[in-house]
Structure 1
């Protein structure tokens, strides 16, 4: 009987503690919503996002756009919060609202492209990244994103073109060289695939990147098998005069 009484008191204590925490959280949220400054609300929302309180972050951001309906930074932040909360459709809508206000906003284009990529709408992701490239030309990261989306969309020629744009700006971009191996394999351009393998191995050694070296070595074995080469035959194709 005494044990049951103790358990009962414990349950009541837990329920009361839970209610107290809920009240405190609600009071804190109401306090954060008091500001009439959208920038302050944005800062508060970012803090809520940081601790994973996504619903509260969205509520604060909604308050910010009620004050300033053209507050692009708030819509972009909504897009990021929804993305982290695995609400990709809502993320798309938030970024679209930002773009409707300013079609030249780079963060909106990149955010929408990233979200489309995550829901495997690679065609739409490419569209957004191409817009981003117009806003910020000659950017290595944007060109790399475009190439990757074209690859996912099974457009090897376009992927190749944009990887080459990356290398025009940054010739030692090792991940681009590694990715080009697969692109040239898919295009059955074995000579260029071998060239990219050797460049990747060289850069891997220079940068002490064991992962890159390992990937290049695996690709080398695949090429040898695909072309029915011996190790000696492969080496001949990596040395001038090239066959």
Structure 2
């Protein structure tokens, strides 16, 4: 009886070991296949075959979700397909897919500055200015000596203060180059834009 129980235990151990070995082998194979897809994707990307590259990178990510280079390349390939200024569902989807992949990288590597700046740039091009500023500020936290994010914040602040001025000129029937003389409008704009202006000056001083 004791021998029988011992044999059963031994068999169970062998089965567990065999399953574990099979799983490790499969995982190892998937990682190799993922790297192969990554390499193929890089070649397609270099040849400007972005849709083909995206397919390879997606397969690489599917095979090995932790392969950050594949996610970065996938995000970059999506971003490459995005056309700034073209406000269409398909075009915006490209940007969103790129942002999603950059965010997946940040879940695994919160200090990946390329992902942070990639998201910031896409939000800027999509005119999601507050989101863009938030990520450019994250970039300044990761690398305080990089002047680019500070300049980008200042540009966004200038844009956010410029648009209301143009809107008020249009309401008053003024040309873009004509000065605003309505004191009430000027006071309202000054109050509305003072935060942007001060924030922009602060960013430039840090650049």
What is the TM-score with the length of structure 1 in the denominator?
Answer: 0.50
Task: Trace 1:107-186 onto structure 2 (pairs within 5 A).
Answer: 107-154=114-161, 155-166=196-207
Contact 1:76 1:111 in 2 (8 A): no
> 1:52 aligns to what SS in structure 2?
coil
Task: Trace 1:78-89 onto structure 2 (pairs within 5 A).
Answer: 78-86=74-82, 87-89=94-96
Say how many residue pairs are matched.
133
CA distance in 2 between counterparts of 1:160 and 1:62 reads: 42
Match of 1:92 in 2: 99
For residues 158-213 of structure 1, what are the alpha-carbon distances to aligned partners after superposition, in whole Å with 9 as ceiling and x for unaligned?
A: 111111112xxxxxxxxxxxxxxxxxxxxxxxxxxxxxxxxxxxxxxxxxxxxxxx
CA distance in 2 between counterparts of 1:62 and 1:112 reads: 19
What is the TM-score with the length of structure 2 in the denominator?
Answer: 0.58
**Given the superposition, is the C-alpha separation of residues 156 and 78 from structure 1 closer, same or farther in structure 2, using an over 3 Å criterion?**
same
Structure 1: 5+ residue stretches without partners: 1-33, 167-243
**Shift in Å at residue 116 of structure 1?**
0.6
Partner residue of 1:102 out of 106, 109, 112: 109
CA distance in 1 between counterparts of 2:33 and 2:144 reads: 34
Structure 2 residue 97 is matched with structure 1 residue 56: no
CA distance in 1 between counterparts of 2:39 and 2:148 reads: 27
Alignment RMSD: 2.0
